[in-house]
Amino acid sequence: MAKIIGRNQEQRELMRLYGSDEAEMVVVYGRRRVGKTYLVNQVFADAGFAFKLTGLHKAKLKEQLTNFALALREYSSSDSWTIPSSWMEAFNQLKSFLVQNRTGAKQVVFIDELPWLDTKGGQFLKAFEWFWNGWGSAQDDLLLIICGSATNWIINKLFKQKGGLYNRAGSKMFLKPFTLAESEEYLQKQGVLMERYDIAQVYMMMGGIPYYLKQLEPGRTFADNIDNCFFKSNGKLWDEFDNLYETLFANSELYLRIVEALASKRVGLSRDEIIAVSKLPNNGSISNALKDLVKCGFVSMNLYYGNKKKKQTFQLADFYTLFYLRFIKDNYGQDEHFWTHLLDNPVKNAWAGYSFEQLVKGHIEQVKRALGIGSVLSQQSSWFVAARDLQEDDVAGAQIDLLIDRRDKAINLCEIKFVGTDFIINKDYAQNLRNKISAFKTVTGTRKAVVPTMITTYGVKRNMYSGLIQQQVTLDDLFEP
């Protein structure tokens, strides 16, 4: 079996289910290209599958059933299985096949891209429910693995629906993207050697998506690799965007309009602001889509300090989506060396600042460990106050992108900066930070100790103003496992 990068907890769980003396069903879900199929295939490379079926994207019922029959013939080594006329007949055939081929060992049945099998009018869910509830759940030698990229289908049709499949999955496995540490290990395995500053930028473009990282080639410079993947004619990832949302979400247009609205505002938008920017109708579909996007990791929901629900905002958190909307959508094919030529562009700097903020929030456990508070109960939030609410002349408003509110009576007020060298605090920046701290203490009335904290690539350069920072986190800290 090939060595799998990361996924240690998921591997242990799959092997625990395999060794169980009861019938087990596990749902492995997550975004497209995150490595779900690879994980299952590698874990069971030695044991093998009793039966494996992969759904066809946008195929009709007859095509899906034909595909099922071909898979059954392959695993039975017999052409005697006819093409079923319905899913009920198909699952009855699968039941008969598994009974005929019992050996005493666990039979692993893997249905990949299961949501694609649920074609309009096909009655797939009823037949699947009949198969599992009526027979499969009583078979001590059966491990049923369901996999799918259409995360909202998995959540709404399997986890939320109150019918016969409600709460039937013994294990729910949401596969997250790689961390920075896992991405570095994966690139090294691929022979792609980069310094961590460049790996962080790659992460800010692609996220920790194994398939995307695999497109980087050894021997190319960082900028050339990015041009080759995104901006050259027939680049490997330039057309991934539409496929990504179509495979993840039914009614993908709604989700696209929401993420496009969020991409327009770095600080995030409230639900009402999303409706105003996107011009979408104000109904329940917006709330449901936002929940789906948050659960899939495409959007983050920011709580404001004090947990005032009315001040919740949503931010675009998917790195590839943000990079595509900022740079690829309107630039593909115009300049095959676009990223090489961009240099120190203000738009690039603004994107880097936003993306690094999301990277930090996605590695909050590493941040906490670097601060020495890994075991301290805490809550992350943001905070904002408008100038008009400060009731002071000539005082600007204040915004804090990350607060770590700790149970040990302290709050880390975090400044996040992505720069190519040590960050230099000058007189103006120091005064601005003092104003933020003062405004936060005054408006919130907190009695906790406020700890000014800097999260940067290479740390803060020592000078007459650097003493204002009490704690620091660097890029190397974020690369910790």
Q: What is the DSSP string of 221-263?
A: -HHHHHIIIIISTT-SSTTHHHHHHHHH-TTHHHHHHHHHHHH
Question: How many whole angstroms separate alpha carbon 294 and alpha carbon 297?
Answer: 5
Q: Quick one: average pLDDT of 380-384? A: 87
Instruction: Return the SS3 of 29.
Output: strand
Note the pLDDT of residue 67: 97
> What local confidence, expressed as pLDDT, does residue 274 receive?
94
Q: Which tens digits make up the pLDDT trace of 207-264?
A: 999 999 999 999 999 999 999 999 988 888 877 887 888 888 878 899 999 999 999 8
- Eight-class DSSP state of 304: B
Q: Spell out the long-range contacts of 295-302 with Cβ–Cβ below 8 A and sequence spacing 24 or more.
A: 295/151, 295/152, 295/155, 296/30, 296/31, 296/151, 296/152, 296/248, 297/31, 297/176, 297/177, 298/31, 298/255, 298/259, 299/258, 299/259, 299/262, 300/358, 300/361, 302/268, 302/381, 302/382
Partners of 473 in beta bridges: 455
pLDDT surpassing 70 at residue 310: no
The per-residue pLDDT for range 318-371, each reduced to its tens digit, is: 999 999 999 998 876 678 899 998 877 888 999 999 999 999 999 999 999 999
Top mean pLDDT of 305-314, 335-344, 440-449 is at 440-449
Amino acid at 454: M
In angstroms, the CA 465 to CA 428 distance is: 10
Q: Which two tokens stand for residue 404?
A: 């770590």
29-33, 138-142, 250-254, 405-409: which range is least confident on average?
A: 250-254
Q: Are 32 and 148 in contact (CB under 8 A)?
A: no
pLDDT band at 466 (very low <50, low <70, confident <90, very high): very high
- From CA 186, how far away is CA 193, in angstroms rounded? 10
Using alpha carbons, select from 41, 20, 19 the residue that is nearest to residue 28. Answer: 41
pLDDT of residue 179: 97
Q: What is the pLDDT of residue 107?
A: 97
Q: What is the CA radius of gyration of the chain?
A: 25
Q: Do 371 and 402 form a contact (C-beta atoms < 8 A)? A: no
- Position 168 confidence tier, pLDDT thresholds 50, 70, 90: low
Q: How confident is the model at residue 392 (pLDDT cuts 50, 70, 90)?
A: low
Which residue is listed with tokens 């095959």? 336
Q: Which domains does the chain have, with CATH numbers?
A: 8-174 (3.40.50.300), 180-238+332-356 (no CATH), 242-325 (1.10.10.10), 363-478 (3.40.1350.10)
**Which stretch of 45-54, 67-76, 307-316 has the lowest confidence by average pLDDT?**
307-316
Percent residues over pLDDT 90 in the chain: 70
What is the 3 state secondary structure string of 35-87?
CHHHHHHHHCCCCCCCEEEECCCCCCHHHHHHHHHHHHHHHHCCCCCCCCCCH
- The first and second tokens of residue 259, run together, are 């993420």
List strand residue ranges (DSSP E) for 161-228, in order: 171-174
Higher model confidence: residue 170 or residue 270? Answer: 270
Q: Which residue has the higher pLDDT, 301 or 355?
A: 355
3-state secondary structure of 11: helix
* Residues making up the chain, counted from first to last: 481
| Average pLDDT of every residue of the chain | 90
Confidence at residue 363, expressed as pLDDT on a 0 to 100 scale: 96
The CA distance from 83 to 117, in Å, is: 15
Is the confidence at residue 166, as pLDDT, over 80?
Answer: no
pLDDT at 165: 56
Q: How far apart are CA 192 and CA 220, in angstroms?
A: 8
pLDDT attached to residue 155: 77
Chain segment 111-155, per-residue pLDDT in tens: 999 999 999 999 999 999 999 999 999 999 999 999 988 777 887
Q: What is the pLDDT of residue 401?
A: 84
Sign of CA dihedral 351, 353, 357, 359: positive
Query: Model confidence at 389, in pLDDT bands (50, 70, 90)?
Result: low
In this model, does residue 453 exceed pLDDT 90? yes
pLDDT of amino acid 384 = 82
Phi, psi of 262 (to 5 degrees): -65, -30
pLDDT of res. 164: 52
- Quick one: pLDDT at residue 248? 82
By C-alpha distance, which of 74, 75, 78, 47 is closest to 141? 47
Q: What is the pLDDT of residue 268?
A: 84
Tokens of 43: 């874990």
pLDDT above 90 for 19? yes
Provide the 3-class DSSP secondary structure of residue 339.
Answer: helix
Put the strands of the sheet holding 471-473 in their side by side order. 378-385, 398-406, 410-417, 449-456, 471-473
Q: Are 178 and 143 in contact (CB under 8 A)?
A: no
